[in-house]
Amino acid sequence: MPIKIAILLAVYNGEKWLVEQIESILHQAYVVQTIFISLDLSDDDSLVLCKKLAKQYSNIQLLPYGERFGGAGKNFYRLIHDVDFSGFDYVALSDQDDIWLPNKLSHAVAMMQAHSADVVSSDVLAFWEDGREKLVKKSYPQKSFDYFFEAAGPGCTYVFKASVLQDFQAFLQQRWLQVNQVDLHDWMLYAYCRSKGYQWHIDNKPLMRYRQHANNQVGFNSGFKAYKKRLQLVRSHWYRNEVTKIVTLVDPQGKSGFRLNRWFLIRYFWQLRRRPRDAFALLVMIILNLY
């Protein structure tokens, strides 16, 4: 039996890159995929292009168009809320501007089976138009409470068992307004799955090229400007507020043992972020009352 995978593709002003990305998805090896496109209200000719692609390929479906989501997170929440996952074995998330290597999906399925995992994500290879490339490593060992403080990596690497995303879909439909207050869908999904005890494998083999350009909503954060921006987000309490939202949604009764107070965070700082440097940086911010 062929492996059936639903691809959730969020698009906004993606005319420039969309064809290359969709072609890389359609050329995935050893799987049968259906691509569901949600197009945020756009200023370019993305709608014309998406309609053309949906007419050209029977396995591309364009969801009803005309709504302003205002960010990738809300666009993906819409996809998860609206798509029927029955009949699929797995579900994968896709950005509009990356390039998938031909074995991205088949490798994710193989890793899921090898590690008895419910969800797989991975490192990625960031690339720029000037030819630069850099590995974005996310496959540091998972910690007891890391899911309250970070995603598992770029959401475009996530591949779920369909039953897992159906579980989150029910949760999303019941708490639509509250979940939509969480800006980053990839963080929300990781937190939900980990809090429910689903097994999540972060693979160290990058099988997609992660395009970097001025229009990236998040992208690969590196260099002084990126760290300055992160510090500003922390000092504005955006980060703390997002953590609070996620804890309230996925662990309202504190069954995980996690406590959102200063002394608990200091004592267990090593369990809050996967990368050692990030754990120490968070500790310093907590001690200095920057967090």
pLDDT at 225: 63
Three-class secondary structure of residue 21 per DSSP: helix
pLDDT at 223: 54
The residue among 291, 247, 246 whose CA lies nearest residue 269 is: 291
pLDDT at 176: 98
The residue among 210, 39, 70 whose CA lies nearest residue 126 is: 210
pLDDT per position in the chain (291 positions), as tens? 789 999 999 999 999 999 999 999 999 999 999 999 999 999 999 999 999 999 999 999 999 999 999 999 999 999 999 999 999 999 999 999 999 999 999 999 999 999 999 999 999 999 998 889 999 999 999 999 999 999 999 999 999 999 999 999 999 999 999 999 999 999 999 999 999 999 999 999 999 999 997 655 445 555 556 667 777 777 788 999 999 999 999 999 999 999 999 999 999 999 999 999 999 999 999 999 888
- Does an H or E element contain 39, and which? strand 31-39
pLDDT at 233: 77
Helices and strands (H and E) in the chain: how many: 11, 11
Distance of alpha carbon 75 from alpha carbon 61, whole angstroms: 15
21 phi, psi to nearest 5 deg: -65, -45
pLDDT at 234: 75
Task: Say which residues have a Cβ less than 8 Å from residue 244's Cβ, sequence separation at least 6.
Answer: 260
- Output the domain CATH number for residue 181: 3.90.550.10
pLDDT at 216: 53
pLDDT at 35: 98
pLDDT at 218: 46
pLDDT at 224: 57
- Does an H or E element contain 9, and which? strand 3-11
Indicate the burial class of 255 (C-beta count within 10 angstroms; 0-12, 13-18, 19 or more). Answer: exposed
Number of domains in the chain: 1
Between helix 72-82 and helix 162-174 the angle, nearest 10°, is: 110
285, 234 contact by CB (below 8 A): yes
Q: Containing domain of residue 56, as a range?
A: 3-287
Beta strands in 162-270 (DSSP E): 200-203, 208-212
90, 109 contact by CB (below 8 A): yes
